[in-house]
Amino acid sequence: MRILIAEDDPVLADGLSASLRECGYSVDRVATGAEVLSAVASFEFDLLILDLGLPRMSGLEVLQRLRARSAELAVLILTAQDGVEARVRGLDLGADDYLAKPYALEELKARVRALTRRGFATASSQVDCGGLAFDRIGRVAKVRGEPLDLSARELVLLEVLLQRPDRMVSKAQLLDHMCEWGDEVSTNAIEVYVHRLRRKLEAAGVEIVTVRGVGYRIQKTSSV
């Protein structure tokens, strides 16, 4: 999953980015409201962590502009403004969650997991496809009860495909979710990751089907 952090304090942004990357997320950072709007217009993110005290354009104005575009991006407000009025206004403008600074890192990670899980069609903490079970909380995949050894990018690839079972996902969408700014990953590299993941899923009765020239979809094999 790909997360955009809007935070103008470089120390806070560095620490939060590092912590989320350790959890397997792709993370990009911006420091102003204008950069948020530009990034969201150009790339596909799963979650925006938004500080309200951004320079020149407040986080609330950024949120208002995003929702005016009908953007469905999940938004977690992370701010020192902990008054009831600020929380209510942020939620009324379309924020999905609100966390005040200082915060416990484990609580923030739990809220991130909750928000990024909303893209799945099922409310269950586990997604099943054939003999494959994916734990959305622990972000662990198992094939017939045995843990599946996946690289960070293979994990994200599987997660994105499982969000859209039996539906096509383009290579561009996969790149948007898997890669941070500055990553040199081509569409040919996506084919390599898909090939590796496809082999690891064979025993699960699950296949990644290539929609030639377009993208991929995940589905049960006909024998399951």
Chain segment 147-160, per-residue pLDDT in tens: 999 988 899 899 88
CB atoms within 10 A of CB 10: 10
Q: Report DSSP letters for 51-88, one per residue.
A: -S--SSS-HHHHHHHHHHTT---EEEEEES---HHHHH
CATH 1.10.10.10 segments of the chain: 149-220
pLDDT digits (tens, 9 = 90+) for 35-87: 999 999 888 888 999 999 899 899 999 999 999 886 778 999 988 876 788 78
pLDDT value at residue 173: 84
Q: Show contacts of 91-94: CB within 8 Å, 24+ apart.
A: 93/60, 93/63, 93/64, 93/67, 94/63, 94/64, 94/66, 94/67
Q: Which CATH number fits domain 149-220: 1.10.3720.10, 1.10.10.10, 3.30.70.890, 2.60.40.10?
A: 1.10.10.10
Q: Looking at the domain 2-117, which fold is it?
A: Rossmann fold (3.40.50)
Checking if the pLDDT of 128 tops 60, the result is yes
CATH 3.40.50.2300 segments of the chain: 2-117
pLDDT value at residue 223: 56
Q: What does pTM read for this prediction?
A: 0.70
Higher pLDDT pick, 184 / 33: 33
Checking if the pLDDT of 171 tops 70, the result is yes
Q: What is the mean pLDDT of residues 2-23?
A: 92
